[in-house]
């Protein structure tokens, strides 16, 4: 039953004893007093605790044997929230907000305790009324997926939708996206829509929009301000610069990684400063605007590209299996300046003979591949591995998928991989 979801055994009997259910606001007298909302529990937990959401938004578990009394404050009824339609003001810039899911498009349902997708992009917009003072926002849901469920077919769906508004009256596009794989999506859009006429900005949040510590509103406002005030061509990721609410960072879509699991300032530009930093009063540019290329949409890819992270003791059977499965390329995430163990050399030779693209990146967070310094690096060059300078491993993977689909042969793919389209290669 949803009234007791996740509770069984002793904890279930305990809730029934005090006549409280999931969603009730309660005052708990235990070793210390707590006030909050009874939350559901995971099915595979013990029966000795109840879960409580405190007023500050955090969840805690309380052992039932420590609880002396529970008083119901109120019954939290599940009601449909009134959604205020966003206003439109003549003369303001026009922005398309596309929702794809993720934490930024989620909220806590306090009746069930679950994090659930917001039904529409309009609801996301209406939750941040400040946006209507900056721009006229049109909203659309493409799909609702947590970012770990985003696959290359989703990248293509996003790119195709955006390509339809080139040379339109929109001033920019905002994509609400989950954070875990957002930098893969931004990389693909940077290549597939290279030279697009208006800014494309991906925005996410580390905390759902209804939490007191949520970063969703400020990130959305920052993304909107970037489009309206700077109008930069290219693809960007906009997130908090750090834990406080003073600054928002705007990262180039090919130079960014998520470097922390939960901090609001999880995203960082690798090897440089963010392209723009937004504060309350101004937007500072670091002179990293996208290369001025002509827009020629190439919205296709080859999924059979592998990203292989080398480690001591790497089992070469993994590499052999990739070759056997007719993958079209391998991006190696090598050590240091771009090295992998000599036990892999025979498999690499086989892959090279099959005309597979072989590219080298580094496991190091910063710096660039240089394979002529040591003998082992020169050996790998002779085996056909292409050093990819300071391209990030994830970006190299996505670019290789795109390059394979847009080249006629191996030499053509190599040429694309070594050409700088969107600052994926920097000096």
In a 3-state reduction of DSSP, which class is residue 95?
Answer: strand
The span from the CA of 341 to the CA of 313, in Å, is: 8
Catalytic annotation, pick one of 100, 224, 254, 258: 258
The CA-atom distances, in angstroms, between 332 and each of 341, 385, 412 are 12, 9, 20
**Candidate list 100, 139, 179, 269, residue with the active-site label:** 179
103 is catalytic: yes
Sign of CA dihedral 162, 123, 179, 213: positive
Ramachandran bin of 322, using left for φ above 0, alpha for ψ from -120 to 50, beta for the remaining angles: alpha
Q: Are 147 and 125 in contact (CB under 8 A)?
A: no
Tokens representing 400 are 């290789």
Contact in structure between 252 and 238 (CB atoms under 8 Å): no
User: SS3 for 332?
Assistant: strand
- Any idea what the Cα angle at residue 96 is, between residues 83 and 224, rounded to 5°? 85
Catalytic residue of the set 139, 180, 181, 185 = 180
Catalytic-residue membership of 258: yes
Which is catalytic among the residues 103, 181, 254, 361? 103
The tokens for 297 are 């949409």
Residue 373 bridge partners (DSSP): none
Q: What are phi and psi of 420, to 5 degrees?
A: -90, 115
Closest by CA position to 114, among listed 71, 51, 63, 62: 51
> What is d(CA 196, CA 422) in angstroms, rounded to the nearest whole number?
11
For residue 274, which phi and psi values (nearest 5 degrees)?
-55, 155
Residue 306 and residue 169: Cα distance in Å, rounded? 39
Gap between the Cα atoms of 30 and 251, Å rounded = 47
> Whole-angstrom Cα distance, residue 237 to residue 215?
14
Structure tokens of 357? 């693209």
Phi, psi (degrees; rounded to nearest 5) at 278: -100, 125
Which residue, 116, 93, 232, 101, is CA-closest to 158? Answer: 101
Q: Under a CB-based contact definition with an 8 Å cutoff, are residues 298 and 191 in contact?
A: yes
Compute φ and ψ for 389, nearest 5 degrees. 55, -120
180 catalytic per annotation: yes
Q: Is 181 a catalytic residue?
A: no
Residues serving a catalytic function are 103, 179-180, 258
């Amino acid at each position: 039953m949803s009234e007791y979801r996740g509770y069984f055994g002793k904890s279930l009997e305990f809730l029934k004893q005090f006549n409280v259910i999931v969603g009730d606001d309660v005052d708990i007298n235990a070793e210390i007093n707590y006030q909050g909302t009874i939350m559901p529990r995971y099915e595979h937990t013990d029966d000795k605790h109840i879960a409580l959401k405190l007023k500050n938004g955090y969840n805690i578990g309380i052992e039932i044997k420590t609880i002396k009394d529970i008083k119901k404050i109120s019954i939290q009824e599940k009601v449909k929230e009134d959604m205020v339609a966003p206003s439109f003001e003549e003369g303001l810039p026009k922005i398309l907000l596309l929702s794809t899911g993720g934490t930024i498009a989620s909220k806590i349902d306090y009746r069930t305790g679950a994090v659930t997708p917001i039904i529409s992009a309009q609801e996301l917009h209406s939750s941040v009324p400040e946006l209507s003072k900056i721009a006229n926002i049109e909203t659309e849901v493409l799909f609702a997926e947590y970012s770990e469920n985003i696959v290359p077919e989703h990248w293509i769906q996003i790119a195709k939708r955006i390509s339809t508004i080139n040379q339109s009256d929109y001033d920019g596009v905002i994509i609400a996206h989950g954070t875990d794989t957002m930098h893969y999506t931004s990389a693909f859009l940077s290549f597939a829509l290279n030279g697009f006429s208006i800014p494309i900005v991906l925005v996410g949040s580390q905390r759902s929009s209804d939490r007191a510590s949520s970063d969703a509103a400020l990130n959305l406002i920052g993304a909107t301000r970037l489009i309206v005030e700077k109008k930069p061509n290219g693809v960007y990721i906009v997130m908090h610069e750090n834990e406080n609410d003073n600054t928002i960072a705007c990262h180039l879509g090919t130079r960014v990684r998520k470097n922390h699991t939960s901090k609001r300032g999880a995203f960082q530009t690798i090897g440089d400063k963010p392209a723009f930093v937004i504060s309350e009063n101004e937007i500072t540019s670091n002179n990293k605007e996208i290369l001025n290329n002509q827009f020629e949409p190439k919205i296709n890819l080859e999924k059979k590209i592998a990203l292989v992270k080398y480690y001591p003791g790497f089992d070469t059977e993994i590499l052999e299996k990739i070759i056997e499965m007719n993958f079209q390329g391998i991006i190696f995430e090598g050590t240091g300046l771009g090295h992998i163990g000599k036990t892999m050399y025979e498999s690499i030779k086989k892959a090279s003979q099959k005309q597979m693209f072989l590219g080298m990146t580094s496991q190091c967070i910063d710096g660039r591949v240089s394979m002529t310094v040591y003998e082992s690096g020169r050996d790998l060059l002779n085996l056909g591995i292409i050093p990819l300078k300071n391209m990030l491993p994830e970006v190299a993977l996505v670019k290789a998928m795109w390059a394979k689909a847009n080249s006629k042969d191996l030499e053509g793919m190599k040429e694309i991989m070594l050409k700088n389209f969107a600052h994926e290669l920097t000096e």
